[in-house]
Amino acid sequence: MKALLIRDLMLAIRAGGGFGLGLAFFLIVTVLVPFGVGPQTELLSRIAPGILWIGALLACLLSLDRILALDWEDGSLDLLATAPLPMEGIVSIKALAHWITTGLPLVLAAPVLGVLLSLPVPAYQWVVISLAVGTPALSVIGTFGAALTVGLKRGGLLMSLLVLPLYVPTLIFGAEVARRGAEGLTVQTPLLLLAGISFGVIALLPFASAAVLRINLR
């Protein structure tokens, strides 16, 4: 499993696009928002937590089809399937690799971009914490979507359609944590719910992803 993780990370770094793509997209979205809504600081700081969350979500979505598509095309997914590793383990590792290459950089970049959006000071820690807690859920749910559409030629659009409604609860609670943090309210309830969703999907969804992947490899 460790070997697979290292291999995926190496591929993501060396093939380019892994780290860069999601991060660049995140940057572009957050930089474009002030052009769209105007430069008033009050407005920006009010919507900043939400924008950061939406940017992170879209950046995550953008890089989903890289999780499995490349391995599917060159046949290494078939090899992995016949390896002594359980399929659940494979999809979990894939999700973890996706989180390390996409989710983690987003978490680290969020405070920097927060400056651009004049994020209120108390919100910084909560944006980072909520993203850190929530992005693993995005990766795991995204892996499920990628596994569903892996066999399709033009699965990208379909995958977005399938994954976006699944992202709704995570987005709601994540953005709520960030918003309450920005307004100085107590964040405990949404944060716990967000963590609950994260742990829940990490624990259960790999089974669904693995089942789906097995069907697709049949």
Partner 1 sequence: MSLWEYANPVKFIRTTDKVLPWIWALTGICLLTGLVWGFFFTPDDFRQGSTVKIIYIHVPSALMAINAWLMMLVASLVWIVRRHHVSALAARAAAPVGAVMTMIALATGAFWGQPMWGTWWAWDPRLTSFLILFLFYLGYMALWEAIENDDTAADLTSILCLVGSVFAILSRYAVNFWNQGLHQGATLSLDKEENISDVFWFPLLVCIAGFVLLFIALVFLRTQTEIRARRTRALLAREGQA
Q: Where do contacts with partner 1 occur on this chain (CB under 8 A)?
A: 144, 148-149, 151-152, 155, 158, 161-162, 164-166, 168-169, 172-173, 176, 190, 193, 197, 205, 208, 211-212, 215-216, 218
In the bound state with partner 1, the residue whose beta carbon lies nearer, of 14 and 218, is 218
In the bound state with partner 1, the residue whose beta carbon lies nearer, of 105 and 155, is 155
In the bound state with partner 1, the residue whose beta carbon lies nearer, of 32 and 214, is 214
CB of 155 to partner 1, least distance (A): 7
Which region holds residue 85: left if phi is over 0, alpha if psi is between -120 and 50, else beta? beta
Selection from 72, 58, 144 nearest residue 106 by Cα = 58
CB of 107 to partner 1, least distance (A): 22
In the bound state with partner 1, the residue whose beta carbon lies nearer, of 118 and 160, is 160
DSSP state of 64: G
Residue pair 109/171 in contact (Cβ under 8 Å)? The answer is no
Structure tokens given for 139: 């990766």
Alpha helix positions (H), the chain: 2-14, 18-37, 41-62, 69-73, 76-82, 87-98, 104-116, 123-148, 155-182, 188-217
CB of 160 to partner 1, least distance (A): 9
The three-class DSSP label of residue 1 is coil
CB of 172 to partner 1, least distance (A): 4
In the bound state with partner 1, the residue whose beta carbon lies nearer, of 43 and 161, is 161
CB of 112 to partner 1, least distance (A): 28
